[in-house]
Amino acid sequence: MTNTEELVKQLINKHGIHRNSLLPVMQGVVKEESYLSDEAMIEIARGLDLSAADVYGTASFYSFLYTEYKGKNIIRICKTITCKMKGKHKIVEAIEDHLKIKKGETTRNGKFTIMEANCLGWCHKGPVMLVNDDVYPEVEAEKVVEILESYC
């Protein structure tokens, strides 16, 4: 059994063979493997007795369920107007400079992907950045490199 097969099996055991388990199972795969590979989606479809197209169709709806390869660490910067007003572009530039990639891209070593996101719910403390589940409100461009280093 490949690692992915093993992982999907474990997740389905934990959440149960039921359509309602689809999101938690996909979230579990993304947590471990950072995205849903074709293999993972086919495995999930088999395990939950759904069509692979249905699994893909559901995954593709959600911005946190990636169906394409992503870095180990996902950086999300809020792009809503209030964070814009607080200078979120400086944060994006600092990260792009440091990682040598643009928004939406993944570093060659597979460690980071940069993305922009809609309102992250920290408008009083913009600009805000999420790295995986960790939140960095009122993040400063000078501190960004240091923060990212802690994920290396």
Identity of the residue, 13 or 109, whose beta carbon is nearer to other proteins in the bound complex? 13
Contact pattern from residue 87 through residue 116 relative to other proteins, giving x for each residue in contact according to CB under 8 A and a dash for the rest:
------------------------------
Nearby residues of 13 by Cβ (< 8 Å), 6 or more positions away: none
Contact pattern from residue 55 through residue 94 relative to other proteins, giving x for each residue in contact according to CB under 8 A and a dash for the rest:
--xx--xxxxx--------------xxx-xx---------
Q: H-type helices in 34-133, by residue range?
A: 38-48, 52-59, 81-85, 88-99
Near other proteins in 128-147, by CB under 8 A: 130, 133-135
Note whether 118 binds other proteins by CB under 8 A: yes
- State how far the Cα of 33 lies from the Cα of 21, in Å rounded to an integer: 18
Grouping H, G, I as helix, E, B as strand and the rest as coil, residue 3 is helix
Give the DSSP H or E segment for 142.
helix 141-149
Shortest Cβ 79–other proteins spacing (Å): 8
Note whether 46 binds other proteins by CB under 8 A: no
Note whether 37 binds other proteins by CB under 8 A: no
Q: Which residue in 125, 140, 143, 147 binds other proteins (CB under 8 A)?
A: 125
- State how far the Cα of 44 lies from the Cα of 11, in Å rounded to an integer: 9
Instruction: Give the HSE-up count for residue 26: Cα atoms under 13 Å, Cβ half-sphere.
Output: 27
- State how far the Cα of 93 lies from the Cα of 125, in Å rounded to an integer: 19
Q: What length is written for the chain?
A: 152
Identity of the residue, 98 or 147, whose beta carbon is nearer to other proteins in the bound complex? 147
Kindly list the residues in this chain that would bind other proteins in the complex (CB under 8 A). 18-24, 26-27, 57-58, 61-65, 80-82, 84-85, 117-126, 130, 133-135
